[in-house]
Amino acid sequence: MVEMNCPHCSELIVLPSSEPGRYECPYCDKIFKVAKKQTKPQSIEIKQSLPQTNPANITIPNSTMAWHNSKLVVFTILGAYLVIQGIILFFDGFFWFDYNPIGAIFFFCGVYLLIPLIFAKQNIEDMEAEMEVNALSASSKKFKVANPNKTAVKGILGTSIAVSTVALIIMTILVILFFVVMVGIFSGAFLEILIGIFDT
């Protein structure tokens, strides 16, 4: 169990667990997030330099939102393009193979770039929660909200990209081996024809 002050009403509360997550204050009924596992009891107090800070008045700075929105637009456009190109390439085939792993790599990279769009609302909520906790925290260490769903999606897509890359390498090696064998066969047959011509 961990003791800390509610970042909203500053009442001393006891958390049932030291694990990071969302908790509800029993006094003001507001939800707050703890981003880092608490290894020992600690009390989060309002900074003396910000005694008048009201969490309800905390807003994300315009520069931060502009940067967030710019990344969102660029990643969304690039991600959508890669997804579409990936689908087209995947069904184009790869030499005599029915499917092209380059298309799969493009597709998964595109979906990876769409993660900020998928979690756009959650990202803004997390930024607001981080600002509230950091504004009211006496600690100089900044709290960071972790999103387990986002981490899981990134892990799955990263694995998919790696598997597609391995498949591409294997298929490329098979194609190269095929051409090496064919060149060997044709050069051997051509050599036999030349020997036959000169022997006569």
Tokens linked to 7: 């970042």
Any idea which residue has 């006094």 for tokens?
27
Better pLDDT: 198 or 45? 198
pLDDT score for 103: 86
pLDDT bin (cut points 50, 70, 90) of residue 81 is very high
3-class secondary structure, 26 = coil
Q: What is the mean pLDDT of residues 88-100?
A: 80
Better pLDDT: 29 or 88? 88
pLDDT bin (cut points 50, 70, 90) of residue 84 is very high
pLDDT bin (cut points 50, 70, 90) of residue 140 is low
Q: What is the mean pLDDT of residues 158-180?
A: 86
Tokens linked to 193: 């024809």
Q: What is the mean pLDDT of residues 81-109?
A: 85
pLDDT bin (cut points 50, 70, 90) of residue 137 is low
3-class secondary structure, 22 = strand
Any idea which residue has 């999103």 for tokens?
147
pLDDT higher than 80, residue 138: no
pLDDT digits over 12-44, tens only? 777 766 677 777 787 887 877 777 655 544 444
pLDDT higher than 50, residue 169: yes
Q: For the chain, give the mean pLDDT.
A: 76
The CA-based dihedral angle spanning residues 75, 78, 83, 88, taken in that order and rounded to the nearest 10 degrees: 180
How many other β-carbons are positioned within 10 Å of the β-carbon of residue 112?
20
Say what the pTM is.
0.53
Any idea which residue has 């986002």 for tokens?
150
Element of type H or E holding 31: strand 31-34
